[in-house]
Amino acid sequence: MRPKSKFAFAFGLTLCLVLFAAALRFGGSFPSPSRPGGADRNGTENRAFPRVARDIHGDELRLVSAPRAIASQSLVTDHFLLALVSPERVVAVSPAAHDRRYSHVADMLRDMDVAVATDPEAVLRRSPDLILVSQDARAEYVDIARTLGTPVFRMRTIFEDFEQIASGLETTGFLLGEDVAADREIRRLRERVAAAAKLRPPDAEPIRVLAFSNFGNTYGKGSLFDHILAQLGAINVAAERGIGPYGSISSEHVAAWNPDWIVAGGEPESATDLRARFLADTGVAASTAGRKGQVLIVENRRYLSMSQHVAGLLEDIAAAIYPDSI
C-alpha cells in the first residue's frame, strides 16, 4: 500500500492531531453538564440569581449574581461567550481566538483588551468572576484559580451532534444570566440546520461522502461530521466502513471505497491548489469523486469548528451535493 497523501501543512497537521487526540480521549465519555430550565422555558426573559449548575466533571458551582468579568480558555467557549455577552464583560480568551484561520471572533477581538487565557497569572490579574474552561483543561490551571477563590466551570467542548452544541449554549447562557441571548443563538443554529436540510430533494438517492484531510484523517461513526451528513440524508463512507469517530486512512482506501464526494478542510487562499493536489492523487482520481471533480474544500474554521459555527460546514456540504436546490 502506498504511503498516505503527502500534501500536508505542518501547522494544520500539528493542530489537528491535537484536536483528534483530545477527541479520542474525551469524545462522548463525559456526562452532560446540568442544564437548568429546559422545555418550560419561554425564551423571553432572563431568570434571577443565585444559580447553581454542575459541570462536566460533576463539580457544583453556585453563582450569586451574573458574572461581569468572564475568562474563556478554549475556542469553543470563546465562540459561545462572545455570542452571548457584550465585549466589555470578556477579560480573557484562548490563543486560538485571535487566529482567523480557526476563529470566528478574531476580527471582534482586534478592538478588545483581553488577556490570553493560557497564562493563569495574566488572567487572574483581570479579576474574573468566572472562568470557562474545556473538559480537558489542565488540573493545575483549575486548581490555582479555585484556590484563589475564582469560580471555574468545566464545559463540554467536543460534540457529537447539534443538540449537544445547543446544550452548551444553554449552559453558558444560564451561567452568565443570558438566557434570552442563548435561546436566540440556539434558535439561529436550528434554523440554519433546517434550511440546509431542506436542500435535499425528496426523491434524491443517498450521496456517499468521505471526509479526507490532506494528512489522511477522516471522521466516522459518532463524529459531528457523521451527524451533519445524517441531517442531509447522505451516507458517511467512513462510518459505512466501520471507522469510529476519528480514524486514519490512505488514498488507497478512497479508491476502494469510491465515494461520490470528498470533503476536506483548507484555507481559502490555498483551496484551489489543495483541491488540485487531491485530484492529482492516483487514489482519489480513481474514485467517482475524483473522476467527477467532486472534491469540496471547506474553510478550516468551519471544517474544524466544534461550536455553533459548524453550521457553516453543513451549509457548504449541502450546497455542494445538492446544487440544483440552491
pLDDT for 236-286, tens place per residue?
A: 999 999 999 999 999 999 999 999 999 999 999 999 999 999 999 999 999
pLDDT of res. 5: 40
pLDDT of res. 214: 81
SS3 state of residue 211: strand
Q: Is the pLDDT of residue 18 over 60?
A: no
Question: CATH 3.40.50.1980 occupies which residues in the chain?
Answer: 10-24+200-325, 43-195
The secondary structure of residue 307, as a DSSP letter, is S
SS3 state of residue 37: coil
pLDDT of res. 34: 58
- Torsion angle of C-alpha atoms 188, 312, 304, 318, degrees rounded to 10: 130
Q: Is the pLDDT of residue 7 over 90?
A: no
The distance of Cα 312 from the centroid of its chain, to the nearest Å, equals 11
Cβ atoms of 121 and 141 within 8 Å: the answer is no
The distance of Cα 133 from the centroid of its chain, to the nearest Å, equals 15
87: confidence class by pLDDT, cuts 50, 70, 90: very high
Between CA 313 and CA 326 the distance in angstroms is 16
16: confidence class by pLDDT, cuts 50, 70, 90: very low
* Average confidence score pLDDT of the chain: 89
What is the model's pTM?
A: 0.88
| pLDDT per residue as tens digits for the range 152-210 | 999 999 999 999 999 999 999 999 999 999 999 999 999 999 999 999 999 999 999 99
Mean pLDDT of 80-88: 98
36: confidence class by pLDDT, cuts 50, 70, 90: low
Instruction: Write the single-letter amino acid at 241.
Output: R
Is 3.40.50.300 the CATH number for 10-24+200-325? no
Q: Is the pLDDT of residue 57 over 50?
A: yes
**Which CATH number is 43-195 given?**
3.40.50.1980
The secondary structure of residue 85, as a DSSP letter, is S
Q: In which residue are the cell numbers 490532506 written?
A: 214
Q: Which DSSP string corresponds to 107-142?
A: HHHTT---EETT-HHHHHHT--SEEEEETT--HHHH
pLDDT of res. 234: 98
